[in-house]
Structure 1
Amino acid sequence: MVLTGLAVGGALGFAMQRGRFCVTGAFRDVWIGRNTRWITAFLIVIAVQSVGIFALDALGVIQLSSGELAPVATIVGAFIFGFAIVLAGGCATGTFYRSGEGLIGSWFALIFYAGSAAAMKYGVFADLTAAARAQTVGLTSIHETLGISPWWLVAALVLAVGYAASRHLAAEPTLASLPPRRTGLAHLLLERPWHAFATAVVIGVIAIVAWPLSTAAGRPAGLGITTPSANTVAFLVTGDVELVDWGVLLVLGILVGAFIAAKASGEFRLRVPDATTMVRSITGGTLMGVGAALAGGCTIGNAMVNTAQFSYQGWLSFGFMVLGTGAATHVFILRHRPVAQRSSTPSLVDA
């Protein structure tokens, strides 16, 4: 059953690469031009997954549970992570799938992300991480605090996201498409651009499937990137095969799936960044591992999976990751725009 992690990771890497599903871009677009199309796609993933996992929980297939909230560690870690993904040029999964399509800067970001996460979880900073994560306030999930069925929150989320998606779809222009070079399934999978919302639904379904398959393999959790990445490094250092679990095969599968998608669609190309981009990738990757370890997860484990369970940690992380991305966007992007271009950017007050 552990090998199913490789299959799920392959499907996730394929879908993210073909759909150009970049969480960093989704968060960054909100600050640069008040564009909420991609963050709406991200919310679709959460909503689809939420429906599926609560149904599986009700059927007894999986058992959902949320850990107690460590507010300071979550806030600080999430903000650092959000800031770091702008430097790295991608979040955890974005770094994985871009590595698979040949972006060498992402290779370095990925190596330093996994290494710093391992240091924070198992190495010299493990005690610091444990101490920070131990400062909890007893809050677990929103529906438990309210004393209501989680299905009320699921319904509210689905309705809100559905409304936002419908507004975006109604405003989309009709674009002319080039004559297809492939036919049938090959055209749909490898040539035709994937719509952001269709990609989100696919990823949401993959996230649902991950739960029972991971649970059956002895890992009662859904998609996750940070701990599996840290475990990969720990295995390479110690040789402890017990560290190679479903999650490790999941992240390896993302690389494989993204490579297959990029190669088959003609988008694979080795790209060497300049020195400044390389330094930023390494710095961003390192800070990503630090932030994700403190926050208890990355944009997948926290902002996508824990939010679907309506855990406080998930939604608090989500918010502070967006804020961290906004801070980095202002420091590294908006401040360096020409004055005329900067003045034409809609103010956040009007959002």
Structure 2
Amino acid sequence: MFAKIGLGLLCGIVLGFVLQRGRFCVVSAYRDVILVKDNRMFIAVLIAIAVQSIGVYALAGLGLIQLTDVPFTWLGAIVGGFVFGWGIVLAGGCATGTWYRAGEGLLGSWIALFAYMLGTVATKSGVLKPAHDALTRHKGGDAFIYTTLGISPWVLILLFAALVSLIVWRHLRQPALVVPTLKPRKSGLAHLLFEKRWHPFVTALLVGIIAIAAWPMSEATGRMFGLGITTPSGNLLRYITTGDATYLDWAVFLVLGIALGSYIAAKGSGEFRWRLPDVKTIRHNFVGGLLMGFGASIAGGCTIGNGLVNTSLFTWQGWVATLFIIAGTWSATYVVIMRGRRKETAGAAPGQTAPLSM
């Protein structure tokens, strides 16, 4: 139990700190591509996938960790991924984004987080389990893409890493945006950790390294996987409602550590404060959280389990689910945010700017 608590919390605290300081959220990565035509965070996610892929397969090759098959439940990946994409837009954050924003004091994220846990438990073991079983019954053949292609995983790893490197190089060659900066109030390490703006690519590199370290840390407690958010979030609610300590595995302490690490980062940077959103946003947060829990449970993972970990393993489940998460995110961004702004702008008085709905 000490290893589960210590290693899980340690990994979670470091991850939560990095996520908060780097403002690393996958829903922003997907949404901002069409919402504000900004692809920096999307590229950052690709960096994190590439880094983790190299590290994880290197560890597996050295015999330090053991990789297991990830079943390809293709219908669940499609339906669950799309629903989850809608959920993260309504909730205002992905799975990890919701956890770290809760650590900043955003009460809307606490509401989304509770609904996310509730949706997960209801789908995996509650009233929605029949839907879960029906959508995850259909399985594909191979778990890994490289098995289907009959090639070494390192072929895909090196090709993907080369592609991401080219994208990063082309992006960095573009003229840098001039961002106004305030006079530093801190100096030395405190300035770097709590005040200086973190570049998305640097944050992604750190996230990738933490994701690699999560594998041996998790396997040391008997859990044969890396980062994961959905199942441990549901298990936390199960433990709270049943008192059954068997639900408290490494990953439960990981997600608790994310909130704690984010709180430490937010307090140190002066960004922590309790904030209560308006009624419309609260409604979106709750519904979005439920959709997140349902979608991630059906798809076999969230933007971390599928979008960061299973993609780095080059599993069919990870890539198919991620593509449909992106499709769901883009369609929800258009319907909920972009069309909503247009309606509000059309209804605003001349000379007034309609407020953001989310």
The alpha-carbon deviation at position 37 of structure 1 amounts to 1.2
Query: What is the CA–CA distance in structure 1 between the aligned matches of 2:342 and 2:235, rounded to whole Å?
Result: 44
Instruction: Indicate the percent of aligned positions where both proteins have the same amino acid.
Output: 51
| Kept after mapping to 1: 8 A contact 2:68/2:224 | no
Report the equivalent of 1:275: 279
Task: Provide the secondary structure at the position in 2 that maps to 1:333.
Answer: helix
Report the equivalent of 1:133: 136
Q: In the comparison of the two structures, how many residue pairs are matched? A: 341
Q: Give the aligned residue type for 2:164.
A: V
The alpha-carbon deviation at position 338 of structure 1 amounts to 4.0
Report the equivalent of 2:258: 254
For the aligned residue pairs, the C-alpha RMSD in angstroms reads 1.5
Q: Give the aligned residue type for 2:211.
A: A
Query: What is the CA–CA distance in structure 2 between the aligned matches of 1:19 and 1:97, rounded to whole Å?
Result: 11
Report the equivalent of 2:116: 113
Equivalent positions of 1:1-351 (< 5 A) are 1-2=3-4, 3-171=6-174, 172-175=176-179, 177-338=181-342
Q: 1:287-324 CA distances to partner (integer Å, 9 max, x unpaired)?
A: 10000000000000001000000000101111101100
Q: 1:74-133 CA distances to partner (integer Å, 9 max, x unpaired)?
A: 100000000111100001000000000011000000001011101111222224313322
Residues 276, 174 of structure 1: alpha-carbon distance in 2 compared, 3 angstrom cutoff: closer
| Kept after mapping to 2: 8 A contact 1:13/1:254 | yes
Query: What is the CA–CA distance in structure 1 between the aligned matches of 2:118 and 2:338, rounded to whole Å?
Result: 30
| Kept after mapping to 2: 8 A contact 1:66/1:309 | no
Q: Give the aligned residue type for 1:281.
A: N
Query: What is the CA–CA distance in structure 1 between the aligned matches of 2:108 and 2:28, rounded to whole Å?
Result: 17
Query: What is the CA–CA distance in structure 2 between the aligned matches of 1:274 and 1:240, rounded to whole Å?
Result: 36
| Kept after mapping to 1: 8 A contact 2:53/2:312 | yes
Q: Give the aligned residue type for 2:282.
A: M
Query: What is the CA–CA distance in structure 1 between the aligned matches of 2:14 and 2:71, rounded to whole Å?
Result: 31
The alpha-carbon deviation at position 174 of structure 1 amounts to 4.9
Q: Give the aligned residue type for 2:27.
A: T
Query: What is the CA–CA distance in structure 2 between the aligned matches of 1:229 and 1:22, rounded to whole Å?
Result: 17
Residues 234, 182 of structure 1: alpha-carbon distance in 2 compared, 3 angstrom cutoff: same
Query: What is the CA–CA distance in structure 2 between the aligned matches of 1:235 and 1:256, rounded to whole Å?
Result: 19
